[in-house]
Amino acid sequence: MDERIECSFFINLEEQISSDEFKGSIQVQVRRPVFGSSYETILLNIKDKDFHAKYVEYQTLEFNETSNKDNLTNILAFYAYIILGMDYDSFFPEGGTEYFQKAQSIVNNSQNAPQKGWKAFESERNRYWLVENILNKSYSGFRSCMYQYHRQGLDIMGDKSPEGRGVIAESLKSIQKVFRARPSLYILQVFFDAKSDELVNIFSKSFPDERNRVSVILNECDPSNGSKYEKILKSESF
């Protein structure tokens, strides 16, 4: 795992409930360097709309793995573990499992928390479902794709661009299988929120047959970004 990973947390406070209690959203973005280049790929770009925390200025933040008393530190720790898990998964097959399991423990410990974001019935796109989807063996194609896409694809494109691009195209078949198993999965949205622009850039420089194959997969699995993917087919042929 490369130690130069860049993480950004942006908290947008939309409502002040009391002098020390706030509601809003938190945006989490993670960038991973690509081997042999100055390029950084987005691993995660997620907006959590269930940010609800108490905080007093200059308060010390202390995380307790067995407690759900402080929702702020629980949220930050949850995403810290998700970030580590995603990073390790991009270097080793399912390399981030222990970190995802720690994130899931925070979810389990927060089932009695009054704040939203931790429970299955509240939404299909929250912290509960994010880590559930990642660890669910039925959707293991997502994690297979994360490794294949990054370590076997992007990381070799500096020296072997066509070969790396071909691996990335192949990795998308794993995402397609997950989509066909359950199209509404949260991790599919998470994947395409991070990767849609990058995929356009990668395959706009591809060969016609590869562009066509990839476009079919992308338009099936991510129709909301169909206008973006049109650029792949409109790029000049080699």
Of 163, 164, 172, 170, give the one whose Cα is nearest residue 195. Answer: 172
Q: What are the tokens at 2?
A: 């490369």
Q: What residues does each domain of the chain span?
A: 6-53+62-135, 141-234
| Of 61-65, 66-70, 172-176, 224-228, the least confident | 66-70
Q: What is the mean pLDDT of residues 178-192?
A: 97
Across the beta sheet with 40-54, the strand order is 6-18, 21-33, 40-54
At 68 the pLDDT is 78
Q: What is the number of alpha carbons within 13 Å of residue 56 lying toward its C-beta?
A: 2
Coil vs helix vs strand at 185: coil
| Residue 27 and residue 10 in contact, taking contact as beta carbons nearer than 8 Å | yes
Q: Which two tokens stand for residue 210?
A: 């590869």
> CB-based contacts of 102: which residues, under 8 Å, 6+ apart?
65, 81
pLDDT digits (tens, 9 = 90+) for 123-164: 999 999 999 999 999 999 999 999 999 999 999 998 999 999
State pLDDT tens for residues 93-130.
999 999 999 999 999 999 999 999 999 999 999 999 99
Q: Tell whether the model's pLDDT for residue 237 goes beyond 60.
A: no
> pLDDT tens, 63-94?
888 877 899 999 999 999 999 999 999 999 99
